[in-house]
């Protein structure tokens, strides 16, 4: 992936990328960006590296405008917000705890060991 937005040939796409970056920077000023070609030569991929716990907060900032650019203006732009490397371990830990609670509502390891100790022997 390249980091040179000026390498994008289409001036409309360059302007759209700049607009999306401004939207994100207005709410998350420490964001850094990587911009480059996507899977197909005409597409542009922008990675926004943001210091947040939840990237959904970032998506909420730009999603409506991105859809407008993709659908109404037919611009092949893709944006992926990612956490900074420092945030990833903490986020992974939180996701594991949340997933465990969602998969097992109302029970925890203590209740399982308690039940298994009371089961009759065969």
Q: And the tokens for 84?
A: 């900074």
CA–CA gap between residue 45 and residue 70 (Å, rounded): 12
- Per-residue pLDDT band for 91 (boundaries 50, 70, 90) equals low
What pLDDT was estimated at residue 1? 45
Q: What is the pLDDT of residues 13-70, one digit of tens each?
A: 999 999 999 999 999 999 999 998 888 878 999 999 999 988 999 999 999 999 999 9
Taking alpha carbons only, the member of 56, 62, 65 closest to residue 24 is 62
CATH 3.40.50 applies to domain 5-86: no
Give Cβ neighbours of residue 52 (< 8 Å, ≥ 6 apart). Answer: 28, 58, 81, 83, 87
| pTM given for the model | 0.69
Using CB atoms within 10 A of its CB, is residue 35 exposed (0-12), middle (13-18) or buried (19+)?
buried
């Amino acid at each position: 992936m390249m980091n040179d937005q000026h390498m994008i040939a289409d001036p409309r796409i360059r302007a759209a990328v700049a607009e999306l970056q401004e939207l994100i920077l207005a709410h998350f000023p420490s964001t850094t960006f990587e911009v480059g070609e996507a899977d197909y030569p005409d597409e542009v991929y922008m990675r926004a590296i943001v210091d947040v716990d939840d990237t959904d907060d970032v998506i909420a900032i730009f999603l409506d405008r991105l859809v407008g650019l993709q659908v109404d203006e037919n611009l092949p732009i893709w944006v992926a917000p990612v956490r900074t490397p420092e945030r990833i371990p903490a986020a992974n830990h939180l996701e594991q705890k949340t997933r465990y609670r969602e998969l097992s509502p109302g029970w925890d390891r203590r209740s399982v060991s308690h039940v298994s100790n009371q089961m009759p022997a065969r």
